[in-house]
Amino acid sequence: MHTTLGWWDEERIRWYDAAASYSSFHKALTDDIERLIDKNDRILELGCGLGYVAELLCADGYAIRATDKDESAIRSASDRTGLPIYSVMDADGTIPSSDVLLMAYFGRIAEKDSLERLLESTGRIIYILSHHRGQDTDRRIRRSNVETTEEYLRNKGVHYSRTDVIHDFPQPLVDAGDARRFLARMYGEENVEEYMPMLKAGRGYGYELENRKISSIFDIRRQA
């Protein structure tokens, strides 16, 4: 397990927390997940990040444990919610058993025999992939990742279903300086000027960066 600084530093946590409270993205995504699971299921989330989906599932009465290898993320989730459902765990290690393994925007099941290893611990995997990075422009569409995953599952003969969803997840930003820092860190300093015209006035913030998030939800089942 990592004890060094991970992806989630103070600034990234601040941006994500602001975005989470700015829109209904996590509620909409949680509703999509709840259509696929049962309240009798024991759910284990890998790579939960700041834990917003797990928080909502817990509030709706689902039995969930949420894990991430980033200590800063788990500390933030625990401090924000006060819930005892979060713990630090490296998904590359031993995975505890569960009825449903939830992986939202985390992991690559088509690499390094990950699917086989994951299915040893669970009967089902709810695996959510994003089609794009940031804004929905032709240059940033990553459909190949979704298509590669689906081809991999077909070739493996695994039982699965796929649902495509679209939810808005805009990023509020305090001012122009905050916007430039966000764009440089998330999309690269060389792309800041390309993104700046995409900003618009925010609700209670100086700016908002639109983000229409297109995702595929794979419901993967272990064969008997």
Q: Is residue 142 part of a domain?
A: yes
Q: What is the DSSP string of 149-187?
A: HHHHHHHHT-EEEEEEEEEE--EEESSHHHHHHHHHHHH
Mean pLDDT of 168-191: 96
Q: Measured at the alpha carbon of residue 62, what is the angle toward residues 58 and 65, in degrees to the nearest 5? A: 65
pLDDT digits (tens, 9 = 90+) for 4-30: 457 899 999 999 999 999 999 999 999
Answer whether residue 140 shows pLDDT above 60: no
Note the pLDDT tens digit of each residue in 41-82: 999 999 999 999 999 999 999 999 999 999 999 999 999 999
Q: Strand 171-173 and strand 199-200: pairing?
A: unpaired
For residues 142 and 125, what is the distance between their CA atoms, to the nearest angstrom? 21
Give 117: exposed, middle or buried? Use CB within 10 Å, 0-12, 13-18, 19+. middle
Q: What is the model's pLDDT at position 137?
A: 52
Structure confidence by residue, pLDDT tens digits, 196-218: 999 999 999 999 999 999 999 99
Positive or negative torsion for Cα 137, 210, 215, 101: positive
Sign of the CA dihedral with 54 first, then 7, 177, and 184 last: negative
Distance CA 61, CA 38 (A): 10
Cα-based angle 128, 25, 141 (whole degrees, multiple of 5): 55
Structural domain of residue 62, as residue ranges?
10-170+214-221
120 part of a folded domain:
yes
pLDDT of amino acid 222: 87
Higher pLDDT, 37 or 145: 37
> In this predicted structure, what is the pLDDT of residue 135?
56
Assess if residue 180 is contained within a domain: no
Residue 89 domain-assigned? yes
The residues, ordered by sequence, that sit 6+ positions from 35 with a Cβ below 8 Å of its Cβ are: none
Strands 98-104 and 63-68, sheet pairing: unpaired
H-state helical runs in 23-51: 25-34
Question: Model confidence over 72-108: pLDDT tens digits?
Answer: 999 999 999 999 999 999 999 999 999 999 999 999 9
Q: What is the CATH number of the domain that holds 73?
A: 3.40.50.150
Residue 5 counted as domain residue? no
DSSP state of 7: S
Would residue 149 count as lying in a domain?
Answer: yes
pLDDT score for 208: 97
Output the pLDDT for position 7: 87
**Is 197 domain-assigned?**
no
Domain-located, residue 4 = no
> What's the number of domains the chain is made of?
1
